Structure formats: C-alpha cells, structure tokens
Amino acid sequence: MGVQISPSILSADFANLESELARVAGADWAHVDVMDGHFVPNLTLGLPVVERLVQVSPVPVDVHLMIEEPDRWAPGYAEAGAQNVTFHAESAAAPVRLARELRRAGARAGLALKPATPVEPFVDLLPEVDMLLVMTVEPGFGGQPFLDVCLPKVRRAREAVRAAGLDVWVQVDGGISPATIERAAEAGADVFVAGSAVYGAPDAAAAVEELRALAAAAC
C-alpha cells in the first residue's frame, strides 16, 4: 500500500477533537493512544471517547492500546469501529487468540513492541497480525526524541516480514518528524505515527504531505 501517515491526536487539542481530526483529513489514519495509567505512566481516554471519534473521523481510526489486560478490552475497540487495533506483546496473555478476535470483529490486528522488546520471539506470530508496531520512544508521553537505537529492530522486523512473504505493515511511533522519518523509512517502516510534528505545525495538512513525501523518497 506504500507510505501511510497516521497523525497522533495525543498532540491535538483535546477540547476540540472533531475539528482537530478534520485538520488531518488528508492523512491515511487517525492514531488514537489509549493509556490506562498502569501499563504506562499516563492516562488518556477510553472506549466511549474512541467510539465517538470513529463516528466523526474523516479517516480510519488506528487505536494503540497501551493498557493492561488487552485480551479483555481490545475487542471492544474493534466492535466500536476502529479499523486497526494494536495491543502490546508485553501485556497480552494470549496474543494469537486476541489477534484472531480482532480480525473476526472486522479490525486489522496490530502487535506493538516497546523499545527494549526484541522482534525475534514474535516472528512466528507474524501470520496472525496485520501490522507490527516498533516503538521508537518509551510509550507513555508524546514529544519525546526519536531513539535511533530502534532502527536495527525496524530493519529486522522488515526482513522477517519479507522472509515470510507476508503483507504485514511495519509501523513506527515516537519522535517521527521531517528530521527522522527518512531514517525510519530506509530501515523498512511504511506506516508512520507523528504527533507534534503534525499538530504542532501551523498547517497540519501540509505537515502530513511533507512527511509522506520524505518517507516515499527514502523507501
């Protein structure tokens, strides 16, 4: 499918989320971070808000669950209409079963890895998911600097997907900006989450297109 840009509303104005979503109508996804204050040291929003965001978003909603017990809670986000639901390998009790439940509910299933979590233990799970999210910052807060140390893991993820002959997207999330997106694309990422680089720009739509062009040129 080529380069995809998924602006993170974590950097948007939470008092005006419908209008903030309209600012990125030219993006491929709207990235929604759900944090529970336990798996990560931050608390954002939950299922009722996401259900409403799905109804008003001009683009598909990409939910990233940074929560404990995703096996219990993740299917509800798919049932609410999120078109991609990503859960963390570190907190899922039965990741294969959960991925299959998400797919049965009509969503794409994503598997996320923290910066220190290696790819290799999860290579055999790749046929069960639609996307592998490699975190390029420690999850929990927006605006953190990009961790170049994660680039070799992005490369290994892309190589594993290619070796298996699968159509699994490789997403990167954290510190993505015009200064870093080319390195991530060169490493093999094809879906890019960007928060402050988009919502902190004077023209969010133009920022999306700039990121798309930079990544496409580097692929």
| Residues annotated as part of the active site | 33, 173
CA distance 208 to 198: 6
Q: Which helix (H) or strand (E) holds 134?
A: strand 131-135
Phi, psi of 62 (to 5 degrees): -110, 105
- In this structure, which long-range contacts are made by residues 205-211, counting pairs with CB atoms below 8 Å and at least 24 apart in sequence? 205/23, 205/24, 205/25, 205/26, 208/5, 208/7, 208/24, 208/26, 208/27, 209/26, 210/178, 211/5, 211/176, 211/177, 211/178, 211/181
Please, is 55 exposed, middle or buried when counting C-beta atoms within 10 Å of its C-beta (0-12, 13-18, 19+)?
exposed
Phi, psi of 61 (to 5 degrees): -100, 130
CA distance 104 to 1: 22
